[in-house]
Amino acid sequence: MRNFAPLPTTQNSLLAALPDEFYQRLSPQLEPVKLDHAAVLYEMEAPIDYFYFPFDAVVSLVTQMKDGRIVEVGLVGNEGMTGLSALLGQKVSAERAIVQIPNGGMRVKAAVILDEFKRQGEVHDALLHYANSFMRQVALIVLLVRYAFSQKPFGRLVSNDGGGGEEFSRARRGLYGLLHPGVVLSQQMGLDPGLIFYFQRGNRITVEGNGGGRRAYRLAGEPVPTSPVSAAESLLTTNEGISYTVSASSSDEFLDEEEGARRGGLLRRKSASDDYLDDDDAGGRRGLFGRRPRGGDYDDDEDRGSRRKSRRARDEYDDLDDYGTSRSRGKSRGRSRDVDFDDDYSSSARSRKSRRRDDDDY
């Protein structure tokens, strides 16, 4: 009858795959542990004292690059264990192990596993099988990281016979493009083999000859060398007399930005109704259901009155001559009408007074 550890070890696939005989010897030395978030299990350049077997936790293995950036190179979950570098004979770790997703797990002293591993029995085979799977995972992660940080192809090959241009980014590269992100072969552009294009930051494109096919090409009238040379904005010709210009700019850069946005549906041409709406919005603020708030009307009236006063003052200033006398006939006629109205009013008042005197005398 097999003696199980206090916690269900079947939550870790590697522990469950170990031989029963070895697990009986290992079980008393397994320690249940709680793996908290961001807990560091071991540091870079530090010895590995314990192997950790996570359950539902996830441990991230990170390393530091020369420029100081931290890059994740591996993940350990319930399928395996941490500390493979010690298993493969390394004295210290090349990675830092950090708990990314908290949960529980088991740990055991590294010396216990290493002693059994050196016997080269079933435990040895099971651990090597896991080590192979882990290295495949690391290779895939490094490949994806390299692809994410590498310069992608840009620019195009422009045919000088008026046939347009072919984008380097649209080359049919397949898996080669994942393995070599910044490299395009001539045959991937629909040409004959013999050229390798390299794309670097700063819109730099270099090309080198590859194999005997390079003799079929000339760059700026010279044979293509076997070492990379600058090719941006250079003339590339074939033995068949077809010429191309290696352009570092993409055809998309020549499209009008507004026209391109309109094609994508981001912009649309304005109609007469749009102009009407714009006038309404410019004339005053709108409230709910398109009505103007009353406070906005008051503000508009005050603004309109101040504009009238300033316009009247400006007109009056323009109507004055050098001596301060008004030159506007309209205004003089307006003043004469006002004077006539006052005279009529005063004469009618005097006539009423005279009639009253006559009545009194009578």
Tens digits of residue pLDDT in 245-276: 999 886 654 444 444 433 333 333 344 444 44
Q: Which residue bears the tokens 């270099």?
A: 206
Q: Which residue bears the tokens 């006939």?
A: 329
Neighbouring-strand partners of residue 103:
35
**Separation of alpha carbons 207 and 197, rounded Å:** 4
Q: Which residue bears the tokens 């299990």?
A: 41
Higher per-residue pLDDT: 332 or 153: 153
Least Cα distance to 74 among 61, 63, 83 occurs for 61
Tens digits of residue pLDDT in 31-57: 999 999 999 999 999 999 999 999 999
Could you tell me the pTM of the whole model?
0.48
Higher per-residue pLDDT: 71 or 349: 71
- Average pLDDT in the chain: 75
Considering the domain delimited by 9-149, tell me its CATH architecture.
Sandwich (2.60)
Rg (CA), the chain: 44
- Residue pair 319/327 in contact by the 8 Å Cβ criterion: yes
Higher per-residue pLDDT: 67 or 5: 67
Higher per-residue pLDDT: 319 or 288: 319
Neighbouring-strand partners of residue 326:
320
Tens digits of residue pLDDT in 82-138: 999 898 888 899 899 999 999 999 999 999 999 989 888 889 999 999 999 888 888
Tens digits of residue pLDDT in 218-243: 999 899 999 999 998 899 999 888 89
Kindly report the CATH number that applies to the domain delimited by 156-252: 2.60.200
Domain boundaries, the chain: 9-149, 156-252
- Residue pair 214/226 in contact by the 8 Å Cβ criterion: yes
- Residue pair 165/254 in contact by the 8 Å Cβ criterion: no
